[in-house]
Amino acid sequence: LIKFSDRDVASQVARCILLVAFVGYYLMGAKIFQVLEIDKQEELKNSFLEARAALMKNYAHITPEELEIFLQTLTFSVKNGIIPLKNETLYLSWNFKNSFSFVASTLTTIGYGSIAPRTPMGQIFCVFYAFLGIPLTIIFLEFVSKAISRPLSGLGKYLQNVGMKERQIKIYVLLFFLVTGLLIFILLPPLIFMHTEGWTYKEGLYFAFISLSTIGFGDYVIGIYPSRKRSQIYPAIIILWYTFGLTWITLLFDLFSKILEKTKRKLTCNKLCQTER
Residue 244 and residue 246: Cα distance in Å, rounded? 6
The residues, ordered by sequence, that sit 6+ positions from 45 with a Cβ below 8 Å of its Cβ are none
Single residue of 133, 164, 195, 196 touching a second copy by CB under 8 A: 133
In the region spanning residues 255 to 274, those forming contacts with a second copy, defined by CB under 8 A, are 256-257, 260-261, 264
Tell whether residue 61 is a contact of a second copy (CB under 8 A): yes
| Total residues binding K ion (CB under 5 A) | 2
In the region spanning residues 164 to 223, those forming contacts with a second copy, defined by CB under 8 A, are 200, 202-203, 205-206, 209-210, 213-219
Tell whether residue 122 is a contact of a second copy (CB under 8 A): yes
Segment contacting a second copy (CB under 8 A): 28-36, 152-160, 166-174, 267-275? 28-36
Residues 187-226 vs K ion: string with x where CB under 5 A? Answer: -----------------------------x----------
**Closer residue to a second copy, CB minimum distance, 115 or 238:** 115
Contact 268, 5 (CB under 8 A): no
In the complex, which residues of this chain contact K ion (CB under 5 A)? 111, 216
